[in-house]
Amino acid sequence: MSEKIRVKAIYNGTVQGVGFRATTAMLAENAGVTGTVRNLPDGSVELVAEGWPGDVDAYLDRIAEQLRHRIDTVDLRRGPATDEFDRFRIAY
């Protein structure tokens, strides 16, 4: 079995003030991922998700599908999981 991974994604577009963070948190509940999502000062949203590769990829695919009309670009960076999260949280 492969190792757990960590993905950091920066979403640009109409992603603040439109329920973007709440939607990513809702999708995380059933995806088997942990992590966090927060607004950044430049108007983008940063998402960090950790879990098994298939779970994380499926989660990112659901975000891309459900929020496609809000996302202009996404910058993804992958690495090994740090296991710092016990659940998925919205950062305020």
Q: Structure pTM? A: 0.94
Q: Which of 39, 70, 77, 89 is catalytic?
A: 39
Catalytic residue at 39?
yes
The pLDDT value recorded for residue 22 is 97
Cβ neighbours, 10 Å, residue 55: 17
Q: What would the two tokens of residue 58 be? A: 């499926």
| Residue range 24-77, pLDDT digits in tens | 999 999 899 999 999 999 999 999 999 999 999 999 999 999 999 999 999 999
Contacts of 26 (CB under 8 A, 6+ apart): none
- Dihedral pair phi/psi, residue 30, rounded to 5°: -100, 0
Catalytic residue at 62?
no
Can you list the positions of beta strands (E) in the chain?
A: 5-13, 34-39, 45-51, 71-80, 88-90
Q: What would the two tokens of residue 52 be? A: 């098994």
Q: In which band, very low, low, confident or very high, does the pLDDT at 14 lie, cut at 50, 70 and 90?
A: very high
